[in-house]
Amino acid sequence: MGRLSVKLCGIELDNPVIPASGTFGYGHEFAEIYDINCLGTFSFKGTTRDPRAGNPTPRIAEAASGLLNAVGLQNPGVDAVIANELPRLRAVFRKPVIANVSGFSTEDYVYTCRRLDACEEVGWIELNISCPNVHGGGMSFGTDPACAAAVVSAVRKAVTKPLIVKLTPNVTDIVSIAKAVEDAGADAVSLINTVLAMRIDLNTRRPVLTNTTGGLSGPAVFPLALRMVYQVSAAVKIPVVGLGGVSSAEDVIEMMLAGATAVQVGAANLVRPTACRDIIEALPGVMDRYGIENLRDIIGGAHG
């Protein structure tokens, strides 16, 4: 193993840097910019059972230190992903990928996860029970421990590959949700998804987003995400994937010290398409500066 390498649910990654779902398409879009095989892996665009057009526009708004989105899980549906997107991905990416899945019922989740579990390109299933930008799905499962455990248990029985459960920060106690999904069979958790937020247009005196609210991402949420990763990693025995406002090699190391085994990068990809490549290239120098020989040795190091 190299000095940047880590293992996520038994699968070795060349490095811990993973573009987050919703910020990297299905991979081939970014493969036109750089060789994406430099990545540890990536989590592809949130996929649902049926095609979704997403929310009406405007569905993106800027904030001083971040970005609000209410895209609403726009995607072509799992059949089209398997038929069209995965073959295109296979042509540009030689590593296993994380399949991010959303749904509106337990049956939706089970169906979509089972379909993707059978695809050789998929190494992990990331169950998104935390999306704040759709009505009647996603986050409604992730804000209650019993509901979260029920959907995770059903999906666990339907898939054979490692199951990562993506958690919402829009709860009073994220630790209780993490422990519930661990008990229900999750192999790892990823956190945090976006924070529910809004902007108001001073000219119209109305919300900027047609959806009224959206998910805040970017540097503004990094300290919040770091705190939650720290708390959850201390409470569960399964790996934690940390995300939320990560935009530099220093942020990656901070997340790993808080307890993250791997780190996802989201909004930074939208601001700077080469962000993940740049972070990976910067990591060895930053490690040398702080006397770190191997990244895997610092996981959870801030816990003492």
Beta strands in 131-187 (DSSP E): 163-166
User: Band of the pLDDT at 1, cuts 50, 70, 90?
Assistant: confident
Say if residues 195 and 184 touch (Cβ distance below 8 Å): no
The whole-number pLDDT of residue 133 equals 46
Q: Is position 113 annotated as part of the catalytic site?
A: no
Q: What is the pTM of this model?
A: 0.96
| pLDDT tens-digit series, residues 117-163 | 999 999 999 999 975 444 445 556 788 899 899 999 999 999 999 99
Which of these is catalytic: 9, 113, 119, 131? Answer: 131
The whole-number pLDDT of residue 162 equals 98
What's the CATH fold of domain 23-240? Answer: TIM Barrel (3.20.20)
Q: What is the mean pLDDT of residues 91-106?
A: 96
Q: What is the mean pLDDT of residues 37-60?
A: 96
Distances from the Cα of 131 to the Cαs of 24, 66, 138, 242, 243, in angstroms?
17, 17, 5, 16, 14
| pLDDT tens-digit series, residues 176-188 | 999 999 999 999 9
Q: What is the mean pLDDT of residues 10-26?
A: 97
Distances from the Cα of 25 to the Cαs of 6, 196, 299, in angstroms?
24, 22, 28
Q: What is the mean pLDDT of residues 268-291?
A: 98
